[in-house]
Structures are given as structure tokens and as C-alpha cells.
């Protein structure tokens, strides 16, 4: 298969229970519709992450599209994945910039410098994997480690929406309304609406918020003037990086978390497609690293392969990389719409807080799912202690200081999990 040479398959293949392989595609109109669906699938999380860090959502969406194209090219069009904003950066970016949780981050430059350092570290890891194979990565980070690290990301962030995104009792109730709305959509809706549970739940909660505040005066009213004044097309608010040793040392270790995420995602796609993607693992790491560097240079968040889009593939049985190429192009178009960005900025903070509770919880459960899917045996004290200590280090935000440098909860949990397994994993049961 050439880079842009997919074998066309009719839609009847799916009706007969077949699949569309990575080197195949449906007719272009149907492929385009699938691309839009993947943009919608990544949309909620990719927009939420920059808002929580005080980054510009339009830049994040734009960089997710550009990053996905970079990933597509570096992997030779062989790995079906979408790159979106990584939540692994949220805790360390907030710590490095002392971000207050509302509006643009005034110290975004030092965060971007750290994101670039992380991307460069990720590229180095990818180059080593490409040269030496994947066995050492899998030995260094078995499922008990990767599951613990992923779970910790969600648990470490739990305090952000609960403590920082509800300024009043009314806001707390709106957070409850929001996550209940998402849960109702997830359980009782069907078809595409169910697949868009985060987006639909957010819209429902926003409408309820507008009725209660703008209509009944019960809370802070929504300000929609920014939407009306925003242009349909225009360049997003790029930002320049600034390089601070402290911020770089704090943020760069996130590369280990990205490796764990990407490794798990590649294994999941391998299982779904029946195609062995291990030979492309190093290139996948490099592609993700280059995309993260490009995003950091431009003012965007660090990026990672997205579980949301892997879920869409699992549901549709369409693994064509052509879908992801078109999804990336659609995202780039959205990135150049200031009106789209204004709509995102108008979402009430407590509604975003309610969505954050759901998203962070789903991340934590995704870590547990890695344990379940890989049948991690917790009667083995090695697994039990690695998981137990890692979860408390991350959830309690255990911090170690080295002079002026502080390694926070996600960092200590990540390196703790790897170090504990290296220490305990060789012991016999």
C-alpha cells in the first residue's frame, strides 16, 4: 500500500459483518462522514484539556489536526490513531505555571517550554525503541504499571473540578446536573447520541444553566457577546514558548506517561485489527513526540493517541487510516474559526467542572480496565504493592523536592510505579 493508496471497499462489507482494514477505505463520501465522527469523538476532551490549563482551545484543535497528520506521515499511514490534547500535562502545567483555573494562563510560555522538552524526550525514547525493539519497554512497563499510571492521571486531577471550578453552592449543584446529564445520555441514549455522551451532556447542562441564570437569575448569567462579535475565520491565538529549567524538569517526565498510554493504545489497535503494529511502535512514539514539539512551539497542548477514537473504531469496525487523515483536515479547518473558539469560551465554568468530573473519572477507570483486560493478578504481592503505592502517591499528590525542583504526584507515581516494578518484579512469587 502506498501512503495515499487505499483499496476501496463497498459499505456492504460492513453490513455482512466484515471490517475495513487500515489499508482499505469506504467510498470517499462515507469516509468523510466517518472522519467527522472522529473529530466529534475527540472534540470534548481535546477542548477541555486546554481550557483546564488556560490554553487557547482553537490552537489545541488546530494542533490536534496537524499532529495527527504528522503521526500519519511518520508511521507511513499504517497506524490508525488520532492525536488529541493529553490530560497527562494538566497537573504539571498547573503546578509549573501556578494557574488559577480561569481565563488565559499568564505563564503559558514556561509551560510550552516544558511541553517541547517532553516531546524531545519522547522522540529519543521512540528512536531507541525503533533501533532496539519493544521488548524492553514492555518489560519496564507491564500492564500493572501502565494501568496504575493511567489511573493516577484521573485521580490526581480529581480535586481540580471539585475544589476550583465551583465558586458557589449553585455552581456545585450545576456540576451535579452536568455529570448526571452525561450519565443519563450514556445509559439511556442509543446510536450516535450515545457515542457523543460528553458533548450531548454538556449541551444539555449548558441549556439548563442558561435557563436558570439568564432566565431565572439564580446564578452568574452566561455572556454570549463574545460569540456574536467573533469572526467566522481567522488565525488562533498562538503563543511563544519560554524555557525555564524548573518547568522543563517538571513537565518532561510526562513523556513516560505518554509512552505508557501509546503502548496500551497500540496493543488495543493490534488486537482489534489483527495487524501486528509492534514494528511501528518506535515510529508511533516519534510521531507523537514530533507532534507534541510542533504543538508546544505554536502554543498548543501536548498530544497523545486518543482512546476515544479507538473506541469509535471498536464500535464501527472501520480501521482505515484514510478516515484519520480526513478527520485531521476537518480539525484544522475548525482551528481557524474564532467563532468556534468563542462558543467554547462561553461554556459556564461549573458545567465544565461537571464534565471534568466525568472525564477524570473515566481516565481512572481506563487504568483499571488495563488491569482487567490483561488479567493482572492481585493475589501476587508484586502487583498488589505496585498498584497500591502508586495510586496513593498520585491521588495524595505526594511531592519530592530536589533543591528548587519539586516532582509532584503524577511524576512521583509514574517513576514510583516503574521503580517499584524494577525492584519487586524480579522476585519469585
pLDDT at position 126: 95
**407 beta partners:** 400
Report d(CA 2, CA 20) in Å as an integer: 17
* pLDDT tens-digit readout, 363-412: 788 788 888 888 899 999 999 999 999 999 988 888 887 776 667 777 78
What is the DSSP track for 100-131? Answer: -SSSS-TTHHHHHHHHHHHHHHHHHHHHHHHH
pLDDT at position 16: 64
The secondary structure of residue 220, as a DSSP letter, is P
Total domains, the chain: 1
Q: Is 211 a member of any domain?
A: no
**7 beta partners:** 24
SS3 of 374, please?
A: coil
Range of the domain at 46: 19-167+220-348+356-424
Report d(CA 60, CA 49) in Å as an integer: 9
What cell numbers appear for 279 in the block?
514494528
Q: Is 208 a member of any domain?
A: no
Q: Is 146 a member of any domain?
A: yes
Q: Is 200 a member of any domain?
A: no
Confidence (pTM): 0.75
- Would you say 152 and 396 are in contact if contact means Cβ atoms under 8 Å apart? no
If one counts every other C-beta atom within 10 angstroms of the C-beta of residue 19, the result is 18
* pLDDT tens-digit readout, 191-244: 657 656 777 888 899 999 999 998 888 888 888 888 888 888 888 889 999 998
Which range is most confident: 126-130, 150-154, 231-235, 255-259?
Answer: 126-130
Q: Is 308 a member of any domain?
A: yes
Q: Is 87 a member of any domain?
A: yes
Strands 303-305 and 400-402: unpaired
Q: Is 369 a member of any domain?
A: yes
96: which residues sit within 8 A by CB, 6+ positions away? 107, 110, 111, 114, 244, 246, 247, 250, 251
16: which residues sit within 8 A by CB, 6+ positions away? none
* pLDDT tens-digit readout, 278-295: 899 999 999 999 999 999
Helices (H), 299-408: 307-316, 321-335, 338-345, 349-373, 381-395
Instruction: Identify which of 366, 328, 8, 363 has the alpha carbon closest to the alpha carbon of residue 154.
Output: 363
Q: Is 195 a member of any domain?
A: no
Amino acid at each position: 500500500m502506498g501512503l495515499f493508496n487505499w483499496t476501496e471497499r463497498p459499505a456492504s462489507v460492513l453490513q455482512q459483518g466484515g471490517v475495513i482494514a487500515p489499508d482499505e477505505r469506504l467510498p470517499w463520501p462515507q469516509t468523510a462522514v466517518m472522519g467527522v465522527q472522529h473529530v466529534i469523538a475527540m472534540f470534548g476532551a481535546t477542548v477541555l484539556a486546554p481550557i483546564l490549563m488556560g490554553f487557547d482551545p482553537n490552537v489545541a484543535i488546530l494542533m490536534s489536526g496537524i499532529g495527527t497528520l504528522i503521526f500519519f506521515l511518520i508511521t507511513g499511514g499504517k497506524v490508525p490513531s488520532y492525536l488529541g490534547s493529553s490530560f497527562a500535562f494538566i497537573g504539571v502545567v498547573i503546578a509549573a505555571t501556578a494557574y488559577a483555573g480561569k481565563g488565559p494562563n499568564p505563564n503559558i510560555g514556561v509551560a510550552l517550554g516544558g511541553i517541547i522538552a517532553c516531546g524531545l524526550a519522547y522522540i529519543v525514547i521512540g528512536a531507541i525503541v525503533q533501533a532496539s525493539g519493544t521488548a524492553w519497554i514492555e518489560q519496564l512497563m507491564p500492564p500493572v504499571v501502565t494501568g496504575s499510571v493511567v489511573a493516577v492521571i484521573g485521580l490526581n486531577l480529581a480535586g481540580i473540578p471539585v475544589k476550583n471550578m465551583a465558586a458557589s453552592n449553585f455552581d456545585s449543584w450545576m456540576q451535579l446536573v452536568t455529570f448526571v446529564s452525561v450519565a443519563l445520555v450514556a445509559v439511556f441514549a442509543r446510536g450516535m447520541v450515545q457515542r457523543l455522551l460528553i458533548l450531548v451532556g454538556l449541551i444539555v447542562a449548558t441549556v439548563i444553566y442558561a435557563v436558570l441564570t439568564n432566565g431565572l437569575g439564580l446564578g452568574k448569567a452566561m455572556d454570549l457577546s463574545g460569540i456574536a462579535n467573533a469572526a467566522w475565520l481567522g488565525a488562533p491565538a498562538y503563543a511563544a514558548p519560554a524555557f525555564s529549567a524548573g518547568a522543563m524538569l517538571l513537565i518532561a517526565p510526562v513523556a513516560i506517561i505518554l509512552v505508557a498510554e501509546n503502548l496500551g493504545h497500540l496493543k488495543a489497535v493490534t488486537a482489534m485489527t489483527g495487524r501486528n503494529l509492534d514494528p511501528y511502535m518506535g515510529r508511533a512514539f516519534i510521531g507523537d513526540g514530533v507532534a507534541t514539539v510542533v504543538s508546544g512551539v505554536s502554543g498548543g497542548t501536548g498530544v497523545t493517541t486518543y482512546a476515544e477514537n479507538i473506541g469509535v473504531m471498536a464500535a464501527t469496525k472501520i480501521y482505515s487510516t484514510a478516515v484519520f487523515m480526513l478527520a485531521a483536515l476537518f480539525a484544522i479547518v475548525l482551528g481557524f474559526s474564532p467563532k468556534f473558539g468563542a462558543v467554547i469560551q462561553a461554556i459556564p465554568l461549573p458545567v465544565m467542572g461537571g464534565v471534568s468530573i466525568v472525564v477524570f473519572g473515566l481516565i481512572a477507570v481506563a487504568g483499571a480496565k488495563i488491569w482487567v483486560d490483561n488479567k493482572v493478578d492481585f493475589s501476587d504481592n508484586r502487583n498488589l504493592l505496585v498498584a497500591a503505592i502508586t495510586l496513593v502517591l498520585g491521588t495524595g499528590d505526594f511531592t519530592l523536592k530536589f533543591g528548587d525542583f519539586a516532582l509532584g504526584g503524577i511524576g512521583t507515581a509514574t517513576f514510583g510505579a516503574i521503580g517499584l516494578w524494577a525492584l519487586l518484579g524480579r522476585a519469585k512469587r
